[in-house]
Amino acid sequence: MSGDELLRLDGVSMQYGRGETAVTALSGVDLTVSRGELVAIMGASGSGKSTLLTVAGGLTPPTSGEVIIEGNWLSQLKPGQLATLRRRSLGFVFQDFNLIPSLTAVENVSLPLELDGWSSKKAHRPALDALGVVELADRADRYPSDLSGGQQQRVAIARAVVGGRSLILADEPTGALDSTTGEVVLRMLRSRVDAGAGGILVTHDSRHAAWADRIVFLRDGRIVDQVQATGVSSLFSGSPA
């Protein structure tokens, strides 16, 4: 594989359940994401987008096929090694923000670093910096319940990218947000990717997909189309959303 390849899905299939009630969520998906590349995934509800992200992020093993992150075959890793890889290399942004209510914004953002062995003192600076990028440095000491939905989502994306994670997986991160927040989130993703990370952005909004370098269309768990969109975001002078 090339040195720039961050993620590869090789013939990935995913089936939920067994027998008559089995659901095939992914079938034979091949996909690579390189450093500096943001890939948008589009497709109808139920087409397998969220499943693709959870499998790509090593949260669920596929029924068949292989997921390779930074050269690591996930099926070959021990659970502890997989957990470490996820913590160090992956950032997830889900539609429901999954913030911890008893931690402040900056503590939520520090958490992945602390789980990886950083002292809370050492984690504080990069966490504050990440909050700064999403324009929330002044809310660092607030609890999630004191923040609007849009602000919570910005905290969640700061947490996903803190410490320079190499692969960012975002599942409709702009879902229910106002367009200003949506744009902050997309800008953050784009700037992390331009700085050398890779990203997958699940979205059903083509204006958001326009921030990506490539758009992949899923239907019934299969990739049915891919469009190279290199440079598209610059056509919109950085603000297609």
Residue 51 binding ligand ADP, by CB under 6 A? yes
**Residue number with CB closer to Mg ion (55 or 123):** 55
Size of the site for ligand ADP (CB under 6 A): 12
Candidate residues 1, 23, 59, 115; the one interacting with ligand ADP per rule CB under 6 A: 23
- Tell me the residue length of the chain: 241
**Residue number with CB closer to Mg ion (50 or 60):** 50
Contact 178, 17 (CB under 8 A): no
CA 104 to each of CA 99, 107, 144, 200: distance values in angstroms, whole numbers, following the listed order: 9, 5, 7, 27
Q: Is 68 helix (H, G, I), strand (E, B) or coil?
A: strand
Residue 50 binding ligand ADP, by CB under 6 A? yes
Residue 73 binding ligand ADP, by CB under 6 A? no
| Minimum distance of Mg ion from residue 47's CB (angstroms) | 9
Span near ligand ADP by CB under 6 A; candidates 38-46, 70-78, 91-99, 135-143: 38-46
All residues at 6 or more sequence positions from 189 whose CB lies less than 8 Å from its CB, including other chains: 38, 157, 161, 168, 170, 173, 199, 201, 211
Residue 15 binding Mg ion, by CB under 5 A? no
Candidate residues 50, 63, 64, 72; the one interacting with Mg ion per rule CB under 5 A: 50
Contact 82, 36 (CB under 8 A): no
All residues at 6 or more sequence positions from 132 whose CB lies less than 8 Å from its CB, including other chains: none
Candidate residues 2, 45, 145, 234; the one interacting with ligand ADP per rule CB under 6 A: 45
